[in-house]
Chains A and B, each alone.
Chain A
């Protein structure tokens, strides 16, 4: 079955830049999406179509894509950005949804 691979954890100090990667063989064929999830809450879409930002999402959130890897970048990390982040895409046919395992962002 198709999988997306994320690092389990990333730690940064406030004001620094956090980068979270997501790798999958079908990423060159399918867009990637990023969700932020805080404890006890539903996920929130922060990046769609690899690099587009939904309205209401701060400009410090950005996304990029290169081959089989997509990256979520959070510039000038703030304490409120501490959360779990999940990448999501579809298999090469576009039929089945798949999530990465999630990355816990810790703001030191």
Chain B
């Protein structure tokens, strides 16, 4: 069973860049699945940030696309998120997840999730 663990700073200054890494264990990041980031502001709902395939192909939420970069490091079996120009509105629990994507079969759903990590944007 795949396990995912997020890591990174819990506090980021406004206008700075949020950087998180998700370590994948129990499976290869070069498998057939994609890898994704989802966030949840305190007391609010889930928001998809984007996803990446091990080849480097990405899809991003159009509302965040200008500020988001997701990358993969196959040698370390991990993937990462960078979100630039952050504001207090980016304060959230950030989850990494394993996502099943098969467009021809209309499959696009989250399989395994990390425990989540709270990132606060504050000076």
Contacts and interface: CB of A to CB of B under 8 A. Distances in A.
Interface residues of A, number: 26
Contacts, number: 61
Interface residues of B, number: 23
B63 A35 contact: no
A37 B115 CA distance: 12
Q: Looking at chain B's contact residues, is the secondary structure mostly helix, strand, loop, or mixed?
A: strand
Contacts of B36: 97
Contacts of A97: 36, 48, 51, 61, 99, 108
Interface of A: 1, 29-31, 33, 35, 37, 42-45, 48-49, 86, 88-90, 94-102
26 contacts: A1-B62, A1-B63, A30-B106, A33-B109, A33-B110, A35-B46, A35-B110, A37-B46, A42-B95, A42-B114, A43-B46, A45-B109, A45-B110, A49-B107, A86-B46, A88-B46, A90-B106, A90-B108, A94-B103, A96-B61, A96-B62, A97-B36, A97-B51, A97-B61, A97-B108, A99-B48
